[in-house]
Amino acid sequence: MATTTLTKAPRGYDPAAAKPFLEQFDRVKDGLPGAGLSWLTDLRGQGHDRFAALGLPTVKNESWRYTNLRALDKLSFQPATDAGEAVRFDLLPTVRADGATGPRLVFVDGRFRAELSSTAGLPAGVELLNLADALTRKPDLVAEHLGRIAAPDDQPLVALNTAFLADGPVLHVPRGVTVDETIELVFVSVGTEAQPTAFHPRGLIVAEAESRAVIVEHHVGLGSCTTLSNGVTEVFVGAGASVHHYKVQREHTDSFHLSHTAAKVAGKGIYDNFILTIGAKLSRNEVTSVLDGEEGDTHVSGAYMVRGGQHVDTTTFIDHAKPCCTSREVYKGVIDDQARAVFQGKIIVRPNAQKTDGYQQNRALLLSDTAEIDAKPELEIYADDVKCSHGATVGELDDDQLFYLRARGIDKDTARGLLIGAFLSEALEEIAEESVRDAFQSYVANWQNAR
Amino acid sequence: MAATTETVEQVRAVTEQKYKYGFTTDIESDVAPKGLNEDTVRFISAKKEEPEWLLEWRLKAFRVWQEMEEPRHWAKLSYPPIDYQDAHYYAAPKTKDRPKSLDEVDPELLKTYEKLGIPLREQEILAGVEGAEGKSPAIAVDAVFDSVSVATTFKAKLEEMGIIFCSISEAVHKCPELVQKYLGSIVPYTDNFYATLNCAVFTDGSFVYIPKGVRCPMELSTYFRINQANTGQFERTLIIADEGSYVSYLEGCTAPQRDENQLHAAVVELVALDDAQIKYSTVQNWYPGNAEGVGGIYNFVTKRGACRGRNSKISWTQVETGSAITWKYPSCILQGDNSVGEFYSVAITNNFQQADTGTKMIHIGKNTRSTIVSKGISAGRAQQTYRGLVKILPKAEGARNHTQCDSLLIGDQCGAHTVPYIENRNRTARVEHEATTAKISEDQLFYCRQRGLSEEDAVSLIVNGFCKEVLKELPMEFAVEAQKLVGISLEGSVG
């Protein structure tokens, strides 16, 4: 094995932290779905070896300088058990109108729940199924795409996910097909009282040329057991296709939520990503979008609201690999109590990616004296005929605006609430789908009401 | 045939103009043997007849340095390994005794400074100024040649006001209590690889002390010149502005054109006490290497100012056109309440130059304010990075920062990068950062060309406009020089 020749771990990684996870790997590997497929065994092996060599990133790692994963070391995470199966749901989160149904996949602690899922309303030819099933029903599709964009090389958590990959959503939209119904992917974290639980959902979205789909991911928690969700999703956007990918994370505040979404956009394709983060004790959303064909377009935006001792990390990477592409990024966040937010956004413009238009903005509001924001917007540009800009502001609510509202007889708390709501709304405006935007607005309102 | 000869002549003329400071001075030098060990440190200290405490401090630094790792992982720079043993750490023009007046200084040296346009003869400067309609006051100059300061002008006049302006070696003897109190108090000997190396082997540099309530009547300036081959230059500058004082300080640098790379690792420390102001301007024009990327200075510099007192202000202005590699982050530690930090920078990289430069503004005191304006121009195959940190600590109530970083790309082989870090731990602080990257617009070029400007002149004009916000911060004499430099640095980058 190549990795055994590594005498010293690369800077910024702690290989010792890999051990507890690797011990489980030997126990579970034969029971993983598709264990008989040699390509899949190889892929998992690559993930395993890479994770063994790297371990968890430390704050000496440039990409992790503001997010410390030491808290994970102290906990001994075990693979998910059947415990979640017993859990009954009265109501699953949805962006649909009351009583309406539509295509939906449900995963509890990373495991697929067929009885809660549905493929109703999908046009002919569209495949929506879980990865474990897809390995038998659509093995070629999976083999062709899995692990092609999210490479484990310098991403230890992707490596960890790849080693353990077992289940998750798979969506295939054939050429020229438009899916009118919003596809919902629901991830419920339950865990067990006995021990912290870890799972590694792996998603795959393949939108062929000229197709269109709208996907909403819900991540919610039930109870208060400690869980770690370490998800990876790969998104292939074909030529002229458009994928609108929205996510809301409302896990409970004892959970860890690590997520990596990697998209590759072909010529004239559109990849539109929005993430709303409200929950989890520690969360990190890493989104990478590679504009791999001319005239591609990507939007990577989001909003976050954190309080108490929460830590939220947003790390984005937009890669202008081909000429004439556009990218737009708008992130807004509100940080209260002792919470801490991290925003790292990098835009790279490769040589020859002329006529690039890149825009990035991130703004944060600090609501308490102990809140903290760390931001690192980054431009790396190797082509001259480009238009790129980024802006970042951090601060508190504007006194003049507060005064204006209070002068009109609005009490201080209400006035603050209005301004915070308006501030976040600007980010939510980036969501093109109205039903999704309305649902996300209501999550924001609920968060504010809980203040 | 004739045409060919003419072309060759023209090319030669252009190349020579590009770096007009590339000549060498043939002067006998006193050089330390190559290599770096404790004996080298002792040698330098002995040459300078330093007190025991300073030698001990140097040795402590050297021991720390030996354990340190060269920082190669984060800056966007690439260069072959540096052999720290393959260089001289001390080189000084040979003199029997320390010259008592300029008349005793080697005429070769004086000629060098004449060629560089640096006035060392006070009478001449005064005569010159009177002739120039008395528009600006004279400039006091400390000229550092390789490892030593060769002359400092206007010392007597400044002394009348209590201002100390001399080489740091002299200050060690003249006012040891001030040097001991402040040396290493802003950049400690454990700070970073290059600064620690500097602590161990620094040779000379300038020392400035402005007493309470004194407004320094003239610009103080130091002119650094590397001449000797295979030497590193490690100068150390310390400026102390006591309560209510003001000083404007200029720094200029050049080096001969050589094929090998030379190391320059300076440390500059500034201290501003209550209500004091320091304005520090640099025009860095070290030899950048030739058009193929051969030769040039490796410039690894640590510059840091501490606004210790209330209402104090430190302002850094830099025009960076030289060096093969620039690694430099002039910073302000804003400790005193209401203190102000400023950073104005123009960095131009052409051919194979690489620059990773920016600033750090650390807000500690209440109502501290900082402004960052960085203009980067990248041409040829150059790579340039703005790297900056704005850090607001919990007690910095009402702190403000505004940062503007603009990059201009000329040609499709170069790169321009922006890596700002913003860390805010105070709710009432307001931090704004903006960055843009673009190229010279066709419209602007067309407009200038249409009025009969050549393409190069047009580019120079546009770039000067792009940098105006920063250039206007420079003292007048420097601003004119800097504008010309902008044009020269970009020569050959268009068309």
Domain boundaries, chain A: 76-395
Band of residue B156 on the pLDDT scale cut at 50, 70, 90: confident
Q: Which of A369, A388, A392 sits opposite B422 (nearest CB)?
A: A392
Give the residue from chain A lying closest to B422, CA to CA. Answer: A375
Chain A positions in Cβ-Cβ contact with residue B431 (cut-off 8 Å):
392-395
Would you say residue B494 has pLDDT above 90?
no
Give the least confident one: B2-11, B38-47, B271-280, B415-424: B2-11
**Residue B32: per-residue pLDDT:** 82
Task: With CB atoms and an 8 Å threshold, state whether A388 touches B436.
Answer: yes
Query: Which residues of chain A carry a pLDDT beneath 70?
Result: 1-9, 83-86
pLDDT of B296 reads: 87
Whether B313 is covered by a domain: the verdict is yes
* Measured CA angle at B408 (ends B402, B413), to 5 deg: 140
What is the ipTM metric for this complex?
0.88
Q: Is pLDDT above 50 for B1?
A: no
Asked if residue B495 is part of any domain, the answer here is: no
CA distance A361 to chain B (A): 9
- State the pTM of this model: 0.89
A290 touches chain B (CB under 8 A): no
Tokens of A65: 């300088």
Any domain includes B9: no
Q: Give the residue with greater pLDDT, B148 vs B130.
A: B148
- Mean pLDDT over B111-123 rounds to 66
Residues on chain A touching B418 (C-beta within 8 angstroms)? 377-379, 390
The per-residue b/e assignment along B63-92, b for 16 or more CB within 10 angstroms, e otherwise, is ebbeeeeeeeeebebeeeeeeeeebbbbbb
Listed range (A66-70, A297-301, B192-196, B250-254) with the worst mean pLDDT: B250-254
B385-419 burial code (b ≥16 CB/10 A, e <16) = bbbbbbbbbeebbbbbbbbebbbbbbeebbbbbbb
Q: How far is A359 from chain B (nearest CA, A)?
A: 9
Least CB–CB distance from B431: residue in A352, A370, A394? A394
Q: What is the count of structural domains for chain B?
A: 1
CB A194 within 8 A of CB A161: no
* Measured distance CA(A388)–CA(B437) in Å, rounded: 5
Query: For residue B131, what are the domain limits?
Result: 16-489
Tell me which chain A residues have a C-beta less than 8 angstroms from the C-beta of B427: 366-369, 371, 396
Q: Which residues contact A214 (CB under 8 A, 6 or more apart)?
A: A179, A182, A183, A244, A246, A433, A436
Closest CA to A49 of A25, A75, A79: A25
The whole-number pLDDT of residue A439 equals 95
- Please give the Cα distance from B6 to B12 (Å, whole number): 10
What local confidence, expressed as pLDDT, does residue B171 receive? 94
Q: What is the pLDDT of residue B141?
A: 80
Residue with tokens 């997520």: A259
Tokens of A177: 């097909």
